[in-house]
Structure 1
Amino acid sequence: MNPLPDNEQDSKVQVGKHTILALVLFSFLNLINQIDRRALVTIFPLLKLEWGLSDAQLGLAVSLFTIGRTLSSLPAGWLADRKGIFLVLRPMVLLWSLLTIASGWAGRFFTFIALRMGVGLMDGANGPLDLAYLGRVSPKNRRGTFLAIYSIALYLGSGLGVIYAGAVGERFGWRWVFIIPGILGLLATIGLFLLPRDPQMKTEVETSSEEKFHSSGFYWLIQQPLPGIFVGGALGVFASTALVSWLPTYLTRQYSLSLMQAGLITGGIIIPASMVGTLMGGFLSDRFGKRYPKLRFQISAAGLGLAMVFGLAGLWSTSMAGTISFFLLTAISFTLPVSPLLVLVQESVHKQELATAQAAFGITTQLLGAAPATGLVGLLSDQLGLQMALVLPFVAVGLGAIVIALTGNVKQGTERKL
């Protein structure tokens, strides 16, 4: 597998201009997308009250959204690599906005989950295409930092989403929780037409025969180190999704908090933790990654391993202060591997395959991670209680740490033989 080439064709002014514009707009898209996702899990008690739902049904609403997102990610990435990012992204963002608004008008649970699956299908372009664009325009020695900044918007949206949904849901009702992000999505669609075309696309019309053959299939997705990165990352996503999805509900049940209080605490954990963990991972990746190639694997494995330890400690803490403190450390550990893993994926593929590679990474993390996480914990919660059900995600993230560490060792051993 050939490494991603440097962006030497572009002038520094051109790269800076496109990177800044892309960061602003794509980060905004990430923000409102994540607010919408986290808003749903925060208003679980309101949906349960209106439609008399079980925990398993509540989890199903999230899982169907994730399945829809997973189904569309790879086709969107594949098409974007061949036809252009904005040809795919603009209509999907527009439809995402309209379907999100329609979710707030649903009169029955069946209609609601059908619309949420449609929202997930349109959300499949977000992430893979954003990251592919940034991978093409960002300088290689700063890529970890750029991807970290972009990823912060995602985690910031997680924190703001629970705060926003708790406040708006209690004051105005759960329907406005979805209508407002949909309106913001329509504004973001207009912004996509203001973003200049990817400059790298203009310089890569002609490709070598080897590159054409290489990009014609998907066999390269099963070559090391991608499978280990995908599986390890998916186990981390499984654990983080389960925790963020059920933490507000856990706090309301365990410590008799109101929905708004639980949302504020969850947001207060996620926002600072994601900023610290993601930026730290991006800085370490850029600062030492080139000198010590194995370091990105070590950072990722250490983060996932610490998340398991701190998560179990928080789960079994007997005080609310202890629970909050340990879960804060857990969230920092969860986000530490984000930028190193994204850089590892991008540096393992050709530039013409960036969107497809990011989509494949996203599909794996969704199918093995985000999609089953909320629903599976909900099923276990109905049988064992929520506290016992949350043990599973932290065992999973420990396994993810092992997979990432072993992948780094295998890759280093392969390079030595070569």
Structure 2
Amino acid sequence: MNTHAIPAARTGAQDYLAGKGAAWFAYAMTVALMLMDYIDRQVIVSLFPYMKNEWGLSDVQLGSLVSVVSVTVALGALPVALFADRVSRVRSIAAMAAVWSAATLSCMFMRSYGALLAARSLVGLGEAGYGSVGAALIASHFPERMRGALLAGFFACASVGSVLGVVLGGAIAAHWGWKAAFGVVGVPGLVLAALYLLVRDYRTVRLTPVLTQATRSSAHAARHVTQSLTRSRTLLWVCIGGAAQLVVVSAVWSWMPSFLNRVHGVAPEQAARQAALVVLCGALGSVVWGAVADRAGKRRPVARLQAMALMCVASLAVLSFAFGAGAGFGAQGQLALIALGSFLMTCTVGPVAAIVIDVVHPGVRATGSSVLALFQNLFGLALGPVLAGTVSDLWGLQAALACIPCFALAAAAAFLAAARTYVEDMGRASEAPAAPLPHALRTAQA
């Protein structure tokens, strides 16, 4: 087991933390677990038609099985990231993966809606903080010039994992029953959790007195987060914008198999495959728009946020038209329009994480990223599926999916507001000292 920590202070913004080999191994393992994170999270959406038929669940109940994961992720993200920043990123990630994988396995044994909802909440508890801690580990292993694209690729794996989860769920359910899907996808995460202990960790940098006090407990951290959001307008607006856009993403991806099954009469297994193509377009879009945002911000940093705002508005226009009037183009034509909207709506996934890292102290990158994760999960990923389910129970699923993209307009406004303070906040963060740890603490963490 290789748990040797690398002092973060001895590496510059243009250096690899422990060499290219160690960096790319860390990236590969972190990406693999991100895939499993979202496979386990999203496998359930292709099972909705089976569950609705067998258990007679409402759309609000079905949406809640997705949303509860995001709620527990949001509630646990801050304390998990706080622990990881001060102790060990690698061991924290390995423990998280073991918990969420075991909880996924347990879902196959549940015999009631309440028990399944509780098991799904444990999946979210295990996944809490993974995105923020994983992003911080990647950012610390690679030079600054590569972070935007690499983080876009890392978060794109959420889309790819969602694709695999939807496809695997539909295929397994068709052959062995919907409960078996949880068992099949839960095992690989346990294996990866053990292998992750081979990843090289980094030692945290010494904090300022204010940050030392802030990271003493979750309560202190919560107060510091509130102060940080007040002080850093960029962080606040980016968190709001990122969450608002994820309302759209989570609603569309969670309900696509059911939309195809109900509106176009597509069989559940085939609906899962077609929905997976929509999600795959989103995965591709997150990488493309991450690179576009990096390029736009190379000479003028605020252009990164302005480009994101523009793409949010474009996603609103395409998706609202696709779900509202797209039926006139036939089933395949409507699916193509929705796929285009999915390609556009993931434009914020990578850039928002890079922007948050740009405007926080280097010693609390994971904790800073967890603030973004809190907003994204609680006010984005958790809200989208259950809100769409609520509207669907009232007006129908097609009407719900035509209305939800309006949240993209709020996202665009938030990113334009963040552009006003981005350069100032980025400069303040870059001036933060990164002194080496005291000898006693270095010895304790070695």
The verdict on a shared fold, with TM-score over 0.5 as the criterion, is yes
Q: Which residue does the alignment assign to 1:151? A: 155
Matched, 1:250 2:254: no
The answer to whether 1:323 aligns with 2:327 is: no
- The residue aligned with 2:317 is 309
Alpha-carbon shift at residue 348 of structure 1 (Å): 0.4
Amino acid at match of 2:21: K
Change beyond 3 A, Cα 1:150–1:41: same
Deviates more, 1:206-215 or 1:252-261: 206-215
Aligned to 1:21: 25
Aligned to 1:335, which of 332, 340, 346? 346
Query: How far did 1:18 drift?
Result: 2.9
C-alpha separation between the residues in 2 aligned to 1:326 and 1:183? 36
- Deviation at residue 312 of structure 1 after TM alignment: 0.8
CA distance in 1, matches of 2:215, 2:303: 29
Q: Relative to structure 1, is the Cα distance of residues 414 and 56 closer, same or farther in structure 2, using a 3 angstrom cutoff?
A: closer
Q: Contact 1:131–1:147 (CA<8 Å) still a contact in 2?
A: yes
Contact 2:156 2:349 (8 Å CA) reproduced: no
Q: Tell me if 1:403 matches 2:414.
A: yes
1:236 aligns with 2:220: no
Does residue 127 (structure 1) correspond to residue 131 (structure 2)? The answer is yes
1:63 pairs with 2:51: no
> By how many angstroms is 1:125 displaced?
2.8
> Is 1:376 matched with 2:387?
yes
Q: CA deviation at 1:119?
A: 1.1
Q: Which of 26, 29, 34 lines up with 1:30 in the alignment?
A: 34
Say whether the 8 Å CA contact 2:31–2:154 is kept in structure 1. yes
| CA apart distance, 1:99 | 1.2
Q: Given the alignment of the two structures, is residue 160 of structure 1 paired with residue 164 of structure 2, yes or no?
A: yes
1:299 aligned residue:
307
1:126-275 equivalences under 5 Å are: 126-198=130-202, 201=203, 204=205, 206-209=206-209, 212=212, 217-218=224-225, 219-222=227-230, 223-275=232-284
Change (3 A) 1:71 1:224: same
Deviation (angstroms), 1:280: 1.9
Cross-structure match for 1:94: 98
| 8 Å Cα contact 1:159/1:271 also seen in 2 | yes
| 2:35–2:160 Cα contact (<8 Å) kept | yes
Distance in 2 separating the partners of 1:314 and 1:280: 22
Which of 348, 373, 379 is the equivalent residue of 1:362?
A: 373
Indicate conservation of the 8 Å contact 1:142/1:286, yes or no: no
Shift, 1:415, TM fit: 9.4
User: What is the CA–CA distance in structure 2 between the aligned matches of 1:114 and 1:241, rounded to whole Å?
Assistant: 20
| Overall identity of the aligned pairs, in % | 25
Partner Cα distance (1:6, 1:398) in 2: 43
Cα gap change, 1:5 to 1:391, in 2 (>3 Å): farther
Post-superposition shift, 1:290? Answer: 3.2
Distance 2:256 2:270 in 1: 12
In the alignment, which residue of structure 2 is the partner of 1:289? 297
Contact 2:73 2:125 in 1 (8 A): yes
> Are 2:401 and 1:390 aligned?
yes
Q: CA deviation at 1:82?
A: 1.1
Measure how far apart 1:17 and its partner are. 2.2
1:112-123 equivalence runs, <5 A: 112-123=116-127
- Contact 1:32–1:185 (CA under 8 A) maintained in structure 2: yes
CA RMSD of the aligned region, Å? 2.3
Tell me how far apart the structure 1 counterparts of residues 278 and 212 of structure 2 sit (CA, whole Å): 46
Deviation at 1:321, TM superposition (A): 2.4
Give me the whole-angstrom Cα distance separating, in 2, the residues matched to 1:151 and 1:264.
22
Deviations 1:174-210 (A, max 9, x none): 1121112210111111111121223xx17x3x44546
Moved more, 207-216 or 297-306: 207-216
Q: 8 Å contact 1:6–1:140 — kept in the other structure? A: no
Structure 1: 5+ residue stretches without partners = none
TM-score (norm 1): 0.91
Map Cα deviations across residues 299-336 of structure 1 (whole Å, 9 max, x no partner).
Answer: 21122111101101110212222212211211111222
Count of paired positions? 408
SS at the partner of 1:225?
A: helix
Q: What is the Cα deviation at residue 72 of structure 1?
A: 0.7
Larger deviation, residues 11-20 vs 99-108: 11-20
Local SS of the residue matching 1:178: helix
CA deviations over 1:383-414 (Å, ceiling 9, x no partner)? 11111112331111122112212221354699
Distance of 2:112 and 2:253 partners within structure 1: 26
**1:123-146, Cα deviation, whole Å (9 max, x unpaired):** 103211101101111110111111
Q: Which amino acid aligns with 1:150?
A: F
- Structure 2 Cα separation of the partners of residues 353 and 146 of structure 1: 19
TM-score between the two structures when normalised by the length of structure 2: 0.86
Alpha-carbon distance in 2 for matches of 1:82, 1:342: 20
Unmatched segments (≥5 aa) in structure 2: 1-7, 217-223, 428-446
Separation (CA, whole Å) in 1 of partners of 2:373 and 2:393: 29
Cα offsets for 1:342-400 (capped at 9, x unmatched):
11111000111111111110111111111121112111111111111123311111221
Structure 1 CA distance for aligned equivalents of residues 249 and 158 of structure 2: 13
How far residue 272 of structure 1 moved from its aligned partner, in angstroms, is 3.7
Distance in structure 1 (CA, Å) of the matches to 2:392 and 2:293: 38
Structure 1 Cα separation of the partners of residues 422 and 283 of structure 2: 28
